């Protein structure tokens, strides 16, 4: 047991040092990790707890109108709210532009847009939440909190389900109706895709009427030529929120577009290297520090050209 305590103390020391951006003694750190299998586990426990607590604090929802929440713990809510506003984090996810627009069809729509490299969280009055990825635009209705139109980009919907008043998402001509609760929608050059991690979503109830279950993803083609439903790991749905992107046999075009949206750094596919599909998992934060790290991670050639980064087959 004394041994366990020593390991834990050492793990704490390493976590303090290794989680600092200036840390460089990776060799020493690796040596310690390799000394004993319990070391890696102890480190993971500490680093995992720290990361989880950080995320918890950072994304603590600033909702102020959920009935249950008010009933359950009124003072809890106001504290969370104050912290949230006090943190410098509020500045980092600041809304870029909230431009009021009135579109036809009797809706009082307003528009929220993010710049590439940003994530914006929208807390709706009904307790639902929308996380808007970078380089995206969404329209919401002032008079109807159960409606959203994803104009471009990507959004994760965490919806409070109501059988009597289901949440509807419009994407171009397509309609999505939530059957409860968490789903990711994206609309870009490659077409529309909908991935469900909890509950279910009904795709075009008046047309194809497809029910998507957790772990399923539907993709349409941009030119309207049908759709494909394929499996997706639920943990991957909306993972971009945590600053991580995973590609499975993805075309380079999509990799470049996704990375640009998530990082705010412009990635372009090198001429003549289209075909080769890419697989891998990338964290965005280190990529922002140095886009070249993408090379070894995804097995690509990466070089700068002015402000842009050209990625291509090796």
Partner 1 sequence: MQEIWLKISALPTGAVDSPLSYLFRVADMLMVDRFRSIRQAEKRDRDWTEINVGAEGGASPEPSAERRIAAAQEATRVLSMLDRLGPRVAAVFRRHRIDGVGQKQIAAEFGVSLSTVESDLRTAYRALSTWKERGDEV
Pure H helices in the chain: 2-18, 26-35, 37-59, 67-72, 74-86, 89-92, 252-263, 284-289, 294-298
In total, the chain counts a number of residues equal to: 314
Question: Considering the rule CB under 8 A, would residue 89 count as an interface residue with partner 1?
Answer: yes
Q: Based on CB atoms, which residue is closest to partner 1, 47 or 265?
A: 47
Q: Least distance from C-beta 304 to partner 1, angstroms?
A: 11
Q: Based on CB atoms, which residue is closest to partner 1, 145 or 151?
A: 145
- Residues 28, 207, 274, 299: which binds partner 1 (CB under 8 A)? 299
- Residues 10, 17, 111, 190: which binds partner 1 (CB under 8 A)? 17
CB 266 within 8 A of CB 307: yes
- Residues 32, 39, 46, 309: which binds partner 1 (CB under 8 A)? 46
How far apart, in whole angstroms, are the C-alpha atoms of residue 161 and residue 217?
20
- Residues 74, 87, 224, 274: which binds partner 1 (CB under 8 A)? 87
CB 212 within 8 A of CB 200: yes
Question: Considering the rule CB under 8 A, would residue 66 count as an interface residue with partner 1?
Answer: yes
Residues 127-186 that bind partner 1 (CB under 8 A): 127, 129, 158-161, 163, 179-182
Question: Considering the rule CB under 8 A, would residue 314 count as an interface residue with partner 1?
Answer: yes
End-to-end CA distance of the chain: 50
The structure tokens listed for 114 are 């993010």
Question: Considering the rule CB under 8 A, would residue 76 count as an interface residue with partner 1?
Answer: yes
The piece of 46-54, 143-151, 219-227, 265-273 that touches partner 1 (CB under 8 A) is: 46-54
Q: Least distance from C-beta 37 to partner 1, angstroms?
A: 13
Contacts of residue 149, Cβ cutoff 8 Å, sequence gap at least 6: 109, 138, 139, 169, 170, 171
Question: Considering the rule CB under 8 A, would residue 57 count as an interface residue with partner 1?
Answer: yes
Q: Least distance from C-beta 265 to partner 1, angstroms?
A: 15
The piece of 111-119, 195-203, 220-228, 250-258 that touches partner 1 (CB under 8 A) is: 195-203
CA 23, 25, 27, 28 dihedral sign is negative
x-marked contacts with partner 1 along 225-244 as a string, rule CB under 8 A: --------x-xx-----x-x
- Residues 198, 210, 241, 270: which binds partner 1 (CB under 8 A)? 198
Q: Least distance from C-beta 63 to partner 1, angstroms?
A: 8
The structure tokens listed for 22 are 């200036």
Residues 250-289 that bind partner 1 (CB under 8 A): 279-281, 283, 285-286, 289
- Residues 7, 32, 39, 80: which binds partner 1 (CB under 8 A)? 80
The structure tokens listed for 169 are 């998402």
Contacts of residue 139, Cβ cutoff 8 Å, sequence gap at least 6: 101, 103, 109, 110, 111, 112, 148, 149, 151
x-marked contacts with partner 1 along 90-119 as a string, rule CB under 8 A: ------------------------------
The structure tokens listed for 44 are 């993971």
Show the CA angle centred on residue 226, arms to residues 224 and 228, nearest 5°: 130
What Rg do the C-alpha atoms of the chain give, in angstroms? 22
């Amino acid at each position: 047991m004394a041994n366990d305590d020593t390991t834990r103390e050492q793990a704490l020391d390493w976590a303090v040092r290794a989680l600092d951006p200036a840390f460089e003694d990776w060799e020493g750190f690796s040596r310690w990790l390799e000394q004993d299998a319990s070391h890696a586990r102890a480190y993971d426990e500490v680093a995992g707890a720290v990361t989880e607590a950080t995320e918890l604090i950072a994304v603590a929802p600033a909702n102020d109108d959920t009935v249950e929440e008010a009933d359950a713990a009124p003072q809890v809510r106001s504290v969370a709210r104050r912290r949230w506003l006090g943190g410098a984090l509020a500045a980092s996810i600041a809304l870029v532009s909230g431009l009021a627009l009135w579109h036809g069809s009797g809706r009082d729509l307003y528009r929220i847009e993010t710049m590439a490299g940003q994530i914006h969280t929208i807390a709706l009055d009904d307790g639902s939440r929308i996380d808007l990825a970078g380089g995206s635009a969404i329209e919401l209705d002032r008079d109807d909190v159960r409606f959203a139109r994803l104009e471009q980009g990507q959004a994760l919907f965490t919806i409070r389900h109501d059988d009597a008043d289901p949440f509807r998402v419009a994407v171009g001509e397509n309609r999505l109706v939530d059957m409860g609760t968490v789903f990711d929608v994206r609309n870009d050059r490659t077409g529309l895709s909908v991935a469900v991690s909890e509950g279910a979503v009904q795709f075009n109830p008046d047309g194809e009427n497809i029910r998507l279950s957790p772990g399923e993803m539907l993709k349409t083609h941009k030119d309207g030529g049908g759709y494909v439903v394929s499996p997706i790991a639920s943990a991957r749905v909306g993972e971009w929120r945590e600053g991580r992107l995973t590609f499975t046999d993805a075309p380079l075009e999509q990799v470049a577009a996704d990375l640009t949206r998530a990082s705010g750094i412009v990635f372009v596919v090198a001429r003549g290297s289209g075909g080769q599909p890419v697989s891998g998992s990338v964290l965005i934060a280190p990529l922002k520090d140095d886009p070249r790290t993408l090379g070894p991670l995804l097995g690509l050639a990466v070089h700068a050209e002015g402000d842009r980064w050209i990625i291509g087959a090796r």
